[in-house]
């Protein structure tokens, strides 16, 4: 009789994986299981079958992530404890339906730290401070640079913590408004900019730990600071922090997996572009940098001004918006000029070119995988919501353009050995394409996906 047994190496590998777990690993796993059990007992009646499946899948996924990358354990437990504290403070003040959200303006901890809006504002402050300290590392001497960048890392972790706390509490807050209002906070531009900010920062922190360098922090956190700046402007201009009911098309469980998968792609594409910028500042000629980096913002400013003065009959709000974007692009232009002028201190402590190239590739490869998954999930969602898998809606069309752009980049790298400045310029242009797909479609085009107006 034939018997099949596992190889000794496989058995040793399995035993080694479990043997390497310390006490805190098992305590972490137990706490995650207990937390999921509490969530199921408390909120299981409000979940459908798909949501229960997501909760069950999330338990081993989070445990594995915490075992693989230890900082996630502290982050997860800290966010969970702070979220439960915020919920408990809310539940001490009730109205006719549930927790009274007016407590956010009355209870000290909620008002200044634990309500969703307070936590997200703290996230914004910490992102800016992290960017500043990472940037100070370029100007300080060796010892001072290490201290400044270390502070930048701690502040970045704090920003991720407050963003996740704000997201979890906002999720709870949405369920306290009315029976049909509650939803995962990934449904509009305000919420997804928070998602983009913490996800991009977290990916950077992983690669910072993996590659043992903090010299890229200022580059990547600058992109996150740009997203946070837009978030704050959008909050003031549109009062976007107010929780709104979902439109019918968004009332689907597909949203819970499609949107986060999409933003893994967006976050890693942004990370790869900022690494590409560092690569180019380190290697490209002064002339190539001025032509390549200044052409896009200068061209956009010129184009906006042409339309602005050639079409004076446009609505006043449209003209005001064009003026605003002309100022923003002028700011980008000034930033690139300063970056090229200061390229020597900005690149003095960067990792080797091979390491930058490898990081750029790993970020794009990961983002492409998740963006592909998100696109497929989006097609299934579209079939459920609108009766067809693909309708060539502007958002769908530009998502396809983004996918083709990075598919071509990966093909040229894997099949043709694409390396160096060409791949870096391509990755940087890819961020422009991705930004238009993410934000520009909502600004300039209309369609079935126009949920976040500007």
Q: pLDDT, tens digit, for every residue of 191-250?
A: 999 999 999 999 999 999 999 989 999 999 999 999 999 899 888 877 888 888 888 777
- Which of 82, 43, 252 minimizes the C-alpha distance to 168? 82
Where are the chain's structural domains?
23-38+49-68, 255-454
Distant-in-sequence, close-in-space partners of 433: CB < 8 Å, separation ≥ 6: 398, 401, 402, 405
pLDDT for the residue 15? 53
pLDDT for the residue 111? 94
Which portions of the chain are predicted below pLDDT 70?
1-19, 142-144, 307-308, 311-314, 317-322, 443-454
Can you tell me the distance from the alpha carbon of 284 to that of 356, in angstroms, rounded to the nearest whole number? 14
Can you tell me the distance from the alpha carbon of 25 to that of 377, in angstroms, rounded to the nearest whole number? 33
pLDDT for the residue 317? 65
Question: Are the beta carbons of 142 and 206 closer than 8 angstroms?
Answer: no
pLDDT for the residue 10? 47
Question: Are the beta carbons of 145 and 349 closer than 8 angstroms?
Answer: yes
Can you tell me the distance from the alpha carbon of 371 to that of 79, in angstroms, rounded to the nearest whole number? 27
pLDDT for the residue 12? 46
pLDDT for the residue 16? 57
Q: Would you give the DSSP letter of residue 99?
A: B
Quote the pTM value. 0.89
Q: pLDDT, tens digit, for every residue of 113-171?
A: 999 999 999 999 999 999 999 999 888 776 667 899 999 999 999 999 999 999 999 99
pLDDT for the residue 373? 96
pLDDT for the residue 454? 55
Question: Are the beta carbons of 373 and 397 closer than 8 angstroms?
Answer: no
How many CB atoms sit inside 10 A of residue 380's CB? 13
């Amino acid at each position: 009789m034939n018997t099949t047994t596992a190889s000794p190496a496989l058995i040793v590998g399995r035993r080694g994986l479990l043997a390497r777990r310390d006490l805190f690993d098992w305590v972490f796993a137990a706490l995650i299981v207990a937390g999921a059990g509490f969530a199921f007992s408390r909120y299981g009646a409000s979940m459908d079958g798909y949501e229960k499946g997501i909760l069950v899948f999330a338990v081993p996924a989070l445990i594995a992530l915490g075992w693989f990358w230890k900082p996630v354990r502290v982050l997860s437990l800290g966010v969970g404890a702070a979220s439960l504290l915020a919920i408990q403070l809310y539940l001490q003040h009730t109205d006719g339906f549930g927790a009274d959200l007016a407590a956010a303006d009355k209870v000290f901890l909620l008002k200044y730290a634990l309500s969703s809006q307070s936590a997200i504002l703290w996230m914004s402050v910490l992102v800016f401070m992290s960017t500043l300290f990472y940037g100070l590392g370029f100007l300080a001497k060796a010892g001072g640079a290490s201290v400044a960048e270390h502070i930048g890392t701690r502040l970045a972790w704090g920003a991720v913590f407050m963003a996740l706390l704000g997201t979890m509490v906002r999720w709870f807050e949405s369920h306290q408004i009315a029976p049909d209002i509650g939803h995962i906070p990934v449904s509009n531009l305000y919420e997804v900019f928070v998602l983009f900010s913490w996800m991009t920062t977290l990916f950077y922190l992983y690669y910072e730990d993996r590659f043992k360098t903090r010299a890229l922090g200022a580059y990547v956190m600058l992109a996150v600071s740009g997203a946070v700046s837009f978030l704050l402007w959008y909050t003031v201009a549109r009062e976007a922090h107010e929780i709104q009911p979902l439109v019918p098309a968004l009332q689907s469980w597909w949203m819970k997996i499609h949107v986060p998968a999409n933003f893994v792609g967006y976050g890693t594409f942004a990370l790869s572009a900022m690494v590409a910028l560092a690569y180019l500042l380190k290697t490209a000629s002064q002339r190539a940098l001025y032509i390549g980096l200044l052409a896009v913002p200068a061209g956009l400013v010129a184009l906006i001004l042409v339309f602005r003065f050639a079409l004076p009959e446009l609505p006043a709000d449209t003209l005001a918006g064009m003026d605003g974007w002309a100022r923003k692009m002028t700011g980008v232009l000034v930033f690139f000029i300063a970056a090229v002028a200061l390229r020597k201190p900005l690149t003095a402590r960067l990792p080797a070119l091979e390491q930058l190239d490898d990081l750029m590739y790993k970020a794009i490869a990961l983002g492409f995988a998740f963006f592909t998954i998100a696109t497929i999930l989006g097609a299934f969602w579209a079939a459920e919501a609108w009766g067809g898998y693909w309708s060539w809606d502007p958002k769908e069309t530009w998502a396809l353009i983004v996918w083709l752009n990075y598919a071509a980049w990966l093909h040229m790298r894997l099949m043709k050995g694409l390396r160096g400045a060409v791949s870096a310029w391509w990755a940087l242009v890819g961020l422009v394409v991705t930004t238009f797909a993410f934000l520009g479609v909502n600004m300039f085009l209309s369609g079935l996906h126009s949920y976040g107006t500007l």
